[in-house]
Structure 1
Amino acid sequence: MSTGVLAILSLLPILAVGIFLVGLRWPASKAMPISYIIAVGLALFVWKVPGANVAAASVNGLVVAGTLLFIIFGAILLLNTLQESGGIKTIRQGFTDISADRRVQVIIIAWLFGSFIEGSAGFGTPAAVAVPLLVGLGFPAMAAVVAGMVIQSTPVSFGAVGTPILVGVQSGLSADSGITTDFLAFVTDIGTKVAFLHMVTGTLVPLFVVALMTRFFGKNKSFSEGIKVWKFALFAAFSMTVPYLIVANVLGPEFPSMIGGLVGLAIVITAARKGFLMPPKEEAWDFEEKSKWDSEWSGRLEIKDIAHKSGSMSMVRAWAPYILVGLFLVLTRLKSLPLLEWLQSWTVTFPNLFGTDISSSFQPLYLPGTIFIAVSLITYFLHGMNGRAYKRAWAQSGKTMIAASTALVFTVPMVQVFLNTGGGAAGFEKMPIELANGVAAIAGDYWPFFSTFIGGIGAFIAGSNTVSNMMFSLFQYNVGSQMGVDASWIVALQAVGGAAGNMICVHNVVAASAVVGLVGKEGAVIRKTLLPFAYYALFAGSLGYSIVWYSQKGIFNLGSFIVALIAMAAIYVIATNNKRTSLLITKNIGGPKVKQG
């Protein structure tokens, strides 16, 4: 069977997701079973994978889905605990004191706080923390999920203390022992290239977040209302990405997102309190009142305005649970501390499922869900809650988690079947590699443009930048070598594309939506995140093309042309918006002329 035909067949499960989930707007609970059946059918009858392997991959997917549901439950429980204790009311007031402008709030929480949490824990944890916090502040559930997904790009490559680079890229390349003798130094060098690509491409991410929010969830459905805060958005972007790039070059892949997010938070919150680059108070942007929201924006998670039993709570006490979450995530992920080894020592393993070489395992104490539940219990005592309120928090959290289970029990098994199609009697490579082979066969010298999209598709399927890098890093390296360019840049583009793929990854969207009770609207979320994903993959790919072909094609090549075109388009949109705003202000200041008599 030809490479092209195999590539098309490999694409079918993904096309099913695109058609039913995104195109026809089916809920994931209905669309994903179809995608699973297609993946199983291809595995059994085309790739001729033994039925035991397909069953084992499916069971492994169910185990992974269970761990995701555990994380979802913990995140919801923490939010509900804070709601019942009155902590959310105090946090909301604190952000209002900094700025009542929702555009400012979403940048601080999603972009900066989310980047810090991503650097600490990774694996979708920012959505489990930042998304419900935004809902608690009064954001529509869908707006919160979209914001949480879009920022799942720049910080992701260095999430979970550098796991996508140190584990994903290194494991992917280690299959070829002839690449280099000093593997760690080589991977670290790739990490610095990844940081540079992210730093440049990620500059517009905060602006994307606010523009999408005002366009899809604002009264006037206007991109321009988000673009008005471009100065603050770019300031927040550089406040994270500049220290991020410095750390990647000085300390390596473990800490760029964590330190970049933390430094960015300190800089931006301090500047915001002093009014630096902030929109005027009288122009603060907000959503319409809740009664006017579109019905599909709201989830089942109802945020109630509950005050603390004493009538008030200090800001430090209200924020303490989130501070503890961040602290515990850092302490339990650092290899230099004994906690990591202790938490990972208890591993529940299901070896050689159905007699295959597929095994499944999880580490209950190491999962972020355990930290969320532990912090929830601490909050019960810290905030002086009563038993009845805490019981309500547990009951509501259980109901919300169960609603998400149907989608995940088909989504993750489909992913595992798709990834485990190698070694079948037909002799084909696993589906993701056959898909990449098909694209590489037609791309030629233009491969850098496609390399980011392949990384993105890998993350879209697997739900993980780390897994995408493990699948495709060696493939990308070999394509780069065959092209005669610096292959480490091609691997870096893979890692950047894999990070951007988290924006549209089905099971990440399902998980983030489930945290705020937004079940059945996953396709609507992905439709809104497709544009920023396309920008990220295209811009980074164009930048990579310009870099790898610079010595042979000069600075004026197709890649640099597209980079310049996108940059000029962004400048034009900002300048046009500024001009329109200035004319409006001038008109308002002038007011109606009164004839003197």
Structure 2
Amino acid sequence: MSFTQNFTAVGDNLGLTALVALVPILYFFWALAIKRMKGYVAGLTTLLIALVLAVVAFKMPASMALMSATQGATYGILPIGWIIITSVFLYKLTVKTGQFDIIRNSVVSLTEDRRLQALLVAFSFGAFLEGAAGFGAPVAISAALLVGLGFNPLYAAGICLIANTAPVAFGAIGTPIIAVAGPTGIPAMEISKMVGRQLPFLSLFIPFYLVVIMAGFKKAMEIMPAILVTGVSFAVTQYLSSNFLGPELPDILSALVSLLALAIFLKFWKPKTIFRFSAEQEMAASVAANSPKNEQIKYTGGQILKAWSPFLVLTVFITIWGIPTFKLALTGHYEGTNVFLKAVNSLGHALTLLPEVPFLNNKVISSAGDPIPAIYKLEILGAAGTSVLLAAVVTKFIVKISWKEWVSTFGETMNELKFPIITIGSVVGYAYVTNASGMSTTLGMTLAKTDSLFAFFSPILGWLGVFITGSDTSSNLLFGNMQKVTATSIGMDPVLAVAANSSGGVTGKMISPQSIAVACAAVGLAGKEADLFRFTIKHSILLVVIVGIMTFLQSNVLSWMVP
């Protein structure tokens, strides 16, 4: 038995079918933004609604709908959930052994100002992690760091989600752009150039916008020199690397340049006033009055290096895991002659399981008449979370924690994250159901009917794709070719449309159910996903409108910007 996707399944009408496909999304918005349900409840009920609509409205066999949900849930656990578990575990090891106190002190010695700490950690360091690993690691790690520094957990999570906007399109060594080059037939370098002529404008804006959100316009103007150093250094490097090197390195290079530029700048420039959150100011005054001697703790360079070493080790591991050739070996696909990589390949092959999804594999027929393969992709060694776990193993010896306490801490982490993992599994399951049933494609085809306004709506299609799938890569694979075909039919440059899908998609990351669940899990706000969603939704809509206007102008007025 097979199932052919039908994009006019309701009343033989695309518009009506799109309205039905929109129901789970509207429900999820309502459940979090208005009803304020716990994340896992909103996720599970959204999945249930999607399953019912897939079967009743889109006529998908119930067995296929259920199995597509299991395929998504499996992907939600590995690799996404695995990254969160290991990232939070690594952070907890540094807290339990007292090393994070030294990390906090080292950042505070550079600047006590919360605005500048957000630029250093959320924007620059987060972008580096996005470039090296992606898949939730940047938000999980940088948000946990900010909480450790003393940030309010909700603010830490929200700020890191918004900061993560700038680097997402080039995340995980350029995966979103490299992936979309295949189905569209457009060279990755051309897409990289175009994205590199859109996102640098956001990269200039985001540092300023972050500080405005945190402290207001006047407080942002007080540190405008630091904001400009951060934004300009990142944006210029992002433009140059994306246009002359390719999609693999813009995030890593831009992040390192901006991080170093700001750190060096802060050696010579300080804000006139130190900004702290209002509750912190009262606490700081109380601490200063009662224990003034504890304020000026000095640590040696060796102590600071040791405290930061878990994250330095983490950086090394996730960078190695992102190297294309090594990644092939980790997943058992290396075909070269290097002896070491061949040994890794053997282990990677043994730890890579690709079983077919029962009742689903090659049973769903696309609009082009092609069967769609469906497998459970269990790349255990190749998963980014495994690289973080190995960093945690090395950290055990650096911080000198016993194996008993190491294992105990891992168990505590697993227990704390049980509900966030359910949330992630359910929302990724929902994404897979919408893709397999044809709901997401129906929504995309409806937006593609906007004709001359398509240049504005093109990024919104990418935004919608990332909201549904939680991934700029998945959104590009879902809508990339549709963007190209629609753009060609209306006289818009297809390179611009495909790039806009990726650039618009980055603004949807902060409201994706997966990202919300990851951020809440990292800062200990499990069950508070609705609060975080309400925090980010307005910023997401504003930013995607900005990208839409930018794309419209590049298509109609600033066409010289298209490579």
TM-score strictly above 0.5: yes
Please state how far the C-alpha of 1:391 moved relative to its aligned partner.
4.7
Separation in structure 2 between the aligned mates of residue 262 and residue 4 of structure 1, nearest angstrom: 47
The residue number in structure 2 matching 1:567 is: none
Partner residue of 2:415 out of 399, 402, 409: 399
Q: Report whether the alignment pairs 1:438 with 2:438.
A: no
Please state how far the C-alpha of 1:388 moved relative to its aligned partner.
5.8
The residue number in structure 1 matching 2:143 is: 131
CA deviation vs aligned residue, 1:556-595 (integer Å, no higher than 9, x gap): xxxxxxxxxxxxxxxxxxxxxxxxxxxxxxxxxxxxxxxx
Unaligned runs of 5+ in 1: 175-182, 215-221, 294-304, 422-429, 556-597
Partner residue of 2:380 out of 364, 368, 379: 364
The residue number in structure 2 matching 1:594 is: none
The residue number in structure 1 matching 2:92 is: 80
Separation in structure 2 between the aligned mates of residue 459 and residue 324 of structure 1, nearest angstrom: 30
- 2:84 and 2:136 in contact (8 A); partners too: no
- 1:212 and 1:226 in contact (8 A); partners too: no
The equivalences for 1:82-481 within 5 A come to 82-167=94-179, 169-174=180-185, 183=186, 186-214=187-215, 222-275=216-269, 278-280=270-272, 283-289=273-279, 314-337=303-326, 340=330, 341=334, 342=344, 344-345=348-349, 346-354=351-359, 356-357=361-362, 358-387=374-403, 389-421=405-437, 430-441=438-449, 443-481=450-488
Separation in structure 1 between the aligned mates of residue 414 and residue 443 of structure 2, nearest angstrom: 39
Aligned-partner SS, 2:508: helix
- 1:57 and 1:420 in contact (8 A); partners too: yes
The residue number in structure 1 matching 2:6 is: none
Counterpart amino acid of residue 248 in structure 1: S
The 1:99/1:291 distance shift into structure 2, 3 A limit, reads: closer
CA deviation vs aligned residue, 1:55-91 (integer Å, no higher than 9, x gap): 2111112211222322221011101100112210001
Aligned-partner SS, 2:503: helix
The residue number in structure 2 matching 1:592 is: none
Please state how far the C-alpha of 1:516 moved relative to its aligned partner.
2.0
- 1:112 and 1:262 in contact (8 A); partners too: yes
Q: Report whether the alignment pairs 1:510 with 2:517.
A: yes
Q: Report whether the alignment pairs 1:37 with 2:38.
A: no
- 2:500 and 2:551 in contact (8 A); partners too: yes
The residue number in structure 1 matching 2:289 is: none
Counterpart amino acid of residue 437 in structure 1: M
CA deviation vs aligned residue, 1:351-402 (integer Å, no higher than 9, x gap): 1323533211121112222122221221121122345653552232122121
Separation in structure 2 between the aligned mates of residue 393 and residue 193 of structure 1, nearest angstrom: 45
The residue number in structure 2 matching 1:50 is: 61
Please state how far the C-alpha of 1:142 moved relative to its aligned partner.
1.0
Counterpart amino acid of residue 461 in structure 1: I
- 2:32 and 2:529 in contact (8 A); partners too: yes
CA RMSD after TM alignment: 2.4
Separation in structure 1 between the aligned mates of residue 201 and residue 89 of structure 2, nearest angstrom: 37
> Larger deviation: 536-545 or 224-233?
224-233
The residue number in structure 2 matching 1:19 is: 30
Aligned-partner SS, 2:525: coil
The 1:9/1:364 distance shift into structure 2, 3 A limit, reads: same
Separation in structure 2 between the aligned mates of residue 18 and residue 551 of structure 1, nearest angstrom: 35
Counterpart amino acid of residue 378 in structure 2: F
Separation in structure 1 between the aligned mates of residue 38 and residue 412 of structure 2, nearest angstrom: 22
Please state how far the C-alpha of 1:313 moved relative to its aligned partner.
6.4
Separation in structure 2 between the aligned mates of residue 497 and residue 212 of structure 1, nearest angstrom: 21
- 1:172 and 1:469 in contact (8 A); partners too: no
Q: Report whether the alignment pairs 1:533 with 2:532.
A: no
Please state how far the C-alpha of 1:171 moved relative to its aligned partner.
3.4
Partner residue of 1:7 out of 6, 18, 27: 18
Please state how far the C-alpha of 1:286 moved relative to its aligned partner.
1.1
- 1:90 and 1:313 in contact (8 A); partners too: no
> TM-score, normalization: structure 1?
0.81
CA deviation vs aligned residue, 1:472-517 (integer Å, no higher than 9, x gap): 1111111111111212111111110112211111111101211222
Please state how far the C-alpha of 1:145 moved relative to its aligned partner.
0.7
Counterpart amino acid of residue 528 in structure 1: F
Please state how far the C-alpha of 1:339 moved relative to its aligned partner.
5.5
Unaligned runs of 5+ in 2: 1-11, 284-293, 335-343, 363-373
Separation in structure 2 between the aligned mates of residue 202 and residue 459 of structure 1, nearest angstrom: 19
- 1:400 and 1:515 in contact (8 A); partners too: no
> TM-score, normalization: structure 2?
0.86
Please state how far the C-alpha of 1:542 moved relative to its aligned partner.
1.2
Aligned-partner SS, 2:197: helix
Please state how far the C-alpha of 1:119 moved relative to its aligned partner.
0.6
